Structure 1
Amino acid sequence: MDKIRELASKRAAVIFTKSSCCMCHSIKALFYELGANPAIHELDQDSRGNEMAVALRSLGCNPCVPAIFIGGQFVGSTKDVISLHVDGSLKQMLINAKAIWF
């Protein structure tokens, strides 16, 4: 869990993914479309990936990816982020965290 918190706090937007996950790809594309440049951590390409996946599940992220952090805070997974985007609050969260500027 410490590694997750450390990585999540280093950038305004952080996404934990797996390279073969189509929903991860969609979330990354959404962030890029909004103008954010999130830090991407591919769990399947990290030696501590399995350990981090367990930690993400303990946060309530099931499946464990994508797991999205904004401003160092856990936002959720795909469903949560899409809900925030639909209601218009995702963009404001990214602005507040200084992940995008408008």
Structure 2
Amino acid sequence: MERVFQLAAERPVVMFSKSSCCMCHTIKTLFSDFGANTTVYELDEISGGREIEQALARHVGADSDFPVVFIGGKLVGGANEIMTLHLKGSLSAMLKRAGALWL
């Protein structure tokens, strides 16, 4: 998990994703529509991705809850948490505080 937190701290928004995951695609699109500077790690396409996936599953408590999103170096959660923040109107402010938006 140390590597995950290190990666998450390097960029304003870090998303651990799977290339075939429809919810991952949805959240990537949402961040793109915001114009957010998002770093995406496709775990099924990168070296060591399976180990990161297993570490996230142990930490988050589920092996199928993708994407896993960090904003400002802090674990926010998966698609449900991101969509909840968006619907409450607080996602944009969170992205701004993290330095992911230039607005």
TM-score (norm 1): 0.94
The one-character-per-residue Cα deviations of 1:7-47 (angstroms, maximum 9, x if unpaired) are 10110001100111111000000001011020010000122
Structure 1 equivalent of residue 50 of structure 2: 50
Task: Tell me, yes or no, if structure 1 residue 97 matches structure 2 residue 98.
Answer: yes
What is the identity, as a one-letter code, of the residue corresponding to 1:72? Answer: G
Note the residue ranges of structure 2 that are not aligned, 5 or more in a row.
none
Task: Please tell me the root mean square deviation across aligned C-alpha atoms, in Å.
Answer: 1.1
AA partner of residue 14 (structure 2): V
Letter in 2 for 1:52: I
Q: Which residue of 1 aligns with 2:12?
A: 12
Q: Deviations over 1:40-71 (max 9, x none)?
A: 10000122111111111122263242000000
Question: Unpaired runs of 5+ in structure 1?
Answer: none
**How many positions carry a matched residue from both structures?**
102
Aligned residue runs from structure 1 range 51-90, under 5 A: 51-60=51-60, 62=62, 63-90=64-91
Structure 1 segments (4+ residues) deviating >6 Å: none
Q: Provide TM-score, normalisation by structure 2.
A: 0.93
Please say if residues 53 and 64 of structure 1, whose CA atoms lie closer than 8 Å, have aligned partners that are also in contact: no
